[in-house]
Amino acid sequence: MGRRKIEIAAVKDPNTRQVTFSKRRTGLFKKANELSILCGAEIAIVVFSIGNRPYSFGHPGVDAVAAKFLRHETKSNDVKQNNVEVGDISRLNQQLLDIEAQILVEEKKGLEHDQILKQHQLSQPSQFKQLQDSYLELQRRVKDYTDAIEVSECLILLAQQPVVEITKQVKKRRKN
Amino acid sequence: MGRRKIEIAAVKDPNTRQVTFSKRRTGLFKKANELSILCGAEIAIVVFSIGNRPYSFGHPGVDAVAAKFLRHETKSNDVKQNNVEVGDISRLNQQLLDIEAQILVEEKKGLEHDQILKQHQLSQPSQFKQLQDSYLELQRRVKDYTDAIEVSECLILLAQQPVVEITKQVKKRRKN
DNA sequence: AACACTATCTATAACTC
DNA sequence: TGAGTTATAGATAGTGT
């Protein structure tokens, strides 16, 4: 959509990225506005720049739409618990892709943290104690999450094989 | 953007409106996805059709971004912290809290996965192979992320202690 | 009625000042 | 270096099936 075709991949140059972010964010909000007018739809958008600066658009308002969404979401979750559909498999797969993408984002953030930490090494000792505690807590959470994934693996295995084989594989994995 | 130019005004015909809504919603989500990838931005979109049907897009996830937004929103109402150093540190801390929140969201998703998997155990063997591969890949990524967090820890330690002590601690942790 | 098609309009990447 | 311009890629309104 410009002079040259660009690949949809992270823009490295910070300056170019900032310009692209600003332009595309404007374009996105314009599209959202058109959608709400053309189709009588309610819409809310929240964007965080790479520097964690928040931008939002909403019709009739971000908070109103968000609240509405949360209300609907909890209801539909309750229904799904009791009502099984075959299409869930593909949605599961989709969720997996989403999580993978999220993990990638977190990896990048971790690296950014490292950069920032380097720049602030010796400036605020008392706050670093706080940070360290947060990191340790965070690591614990990630570990728990990893365990949860393991449980999921076991369930998949359960779906494919006679149960006898499972325990071996699980224990083998645990030792790793 | 089509065969004819259209005015940005409410589309009356329900059929046309539905088609327009569907197409433009898809386009909007695609743009949002591109924005998040190109610029490393986090984004959440919620749309309600005229029939109050909810549609959402989120990277890394609607819930995570929404929670982050609400937190930032309330923060901005608080008294500003003017010190530059403190501002940066608190932003770092903020990012940590954000990541923790995301991990929590992922944990919940993981549990939901387990629920759904239980219900679908023996139905689609070929798809389970796919799922299994995805999970293994996912686990690898989480492992990498955990390592990245470890690196961050080391940097924090560096900021607090004489360098000599660090290597011991790092190696000790590595063996774990 | 959910697709595919395509002529046309719109967003924007690179450029300019 | 931020705001405006332009050539081009991308989105989509109307259409066909």
3-state secondary structure chain B: CCCCCCCCCCCCCHHHHHHHHHHHHHHHHHHHHHHHHHHCCEEEEEEECCCCCEEEEEECCHHHHHHHHHHHHHHHHCCCCCCHHHHHHHHHHHHHHHHHHHHHHHHHHHHHHHHHHHHCCCCCHHHHHHHHHHHHHHHHHHHHHHHHHHHHHHHHHHHHCCHHHHHHHHHHHHHC
Asked, for residue A106, whether it belongs to a domain, the answer is no
Sign of the C-alpha dihedral computed for residues B65, B68, B74 and B75 taken in this order: negative
pLDDT value of residue A33? 95
pLDDT the model gives residue A165: 41
Helix axes A125-160 and B125-160, enclosed angle (nearest 10): 160
Does residue B33 belong to any structural domain of this protein?
yes
Among A34-48, A117-131, B24-38, B57-71, the minimum mean pLDDT is found in: A117-131
Question: Is residue A108 in a domain?
Answer: no
Q: Is residue B36 part of a domain?
A: yes
| Whole-model pTM over 0.95 | no
| B101-152 confidence digits (pLDDT tens) | 666 666 666 666 666 555 554 444 445 455 555 555 555 555 555 555 555 5
Q: Which domain holds residue B68?
A: 14-80
**How far is the C-alpha of A8 from the C-alpha of B150, rounded, in Å?**
30
Q: Domains in chain A: how many in total?
A: 1
Residue A49 lies inside a defined structural domain of this protein: yes
Amino acid sitting at position B22: S
CATH code where residue A57 lies: 3.40.1810.10
Gyration radius (Cα) of chain A, Å: 22
Spell out the residues 6+ positions from residue A11 whose beta carbon is closer than 8 angstroms to its own: A17, A20, B38, B39
pLDDT band for position A34 (50/70/90)? very high
How confident is the model at residue B95, as a pLDDT?
Answer: 61
The confidence band for B67, taking pLDDT boundaries of 50, 70 and 90, is: confident
Nearest by CB to A125, from B119, B135, B160: name it.
B160
- From residue A14, alpha-carbon distances to A22, A51, A55, B69 in Å are 12, 11, 18, 23
| CA dihedral for B1, B2, B5, B10, sign (positive or negative) | negative
Could you read off the pLDDT of A58-99 as tens digits, one per residue? 988 898 898 888 877 766 655 444 433 334 444 444 445 555
pLDDT attached to residue A122 = 42
Provide the CA A27 to C1' C11 distance, Å, integer: 7
Rounded to a whole number, what is the distance in Å from the CA of B114 to chain A's nearest CA? 6
Whose CA is nearest the C1' atom of nucleotide D11?
B1
Q: What is the pLDDT of residue B17?
A: 95
3-class state of residue A53 by DSSP: coil
Q: Which helix (H) or strand (E) holds A11?
A: none
**Domain assignment of residue A58, yes or no:** yes
Q: What is the pLDDT of residue B133?
A: 53
pLDDT of res. B70: 82
Is B45 among the domain residues? Answer: yes
**What is the spatial distance, in angstroms and rounded to an integer, between the CA atom of B4 and the C1' atom of D13?**
6
Which residues are within 7 Å of strand D by their Cβ atom? A 1-6, 15, 31; B 1-4, 6, 16, 19-20, 23-24, 26-28, 30-31, 34
Distances, alpha carbon B141 to alpha carbons A5, A63, A99, B26, B135, in Å: 30, 34, 10, 29, 10
What's the rounded mean pLDDT across residues A113-139? Answer: 52
In a domain, A47, yes or no: yes
Greater pLDDT, B155 or A45: A45
Percent of chain A with pLDDT over 70: 41
Instruction: Please report the pLDDT score of residue A83 as a whole number.
Output: 39
Report pLDDT for A147. Answer: 53
Lowest pLDDT segment from A3-7, A37-41, B62-66, B145-149: B145-149
Residue A10: count other Cβ atoms within 10 Å of its Cβ. Answer: 13
Nucleotide nearest to A6 (CA to C1'): C13
Q: Which amino acid is at A144?
A: D
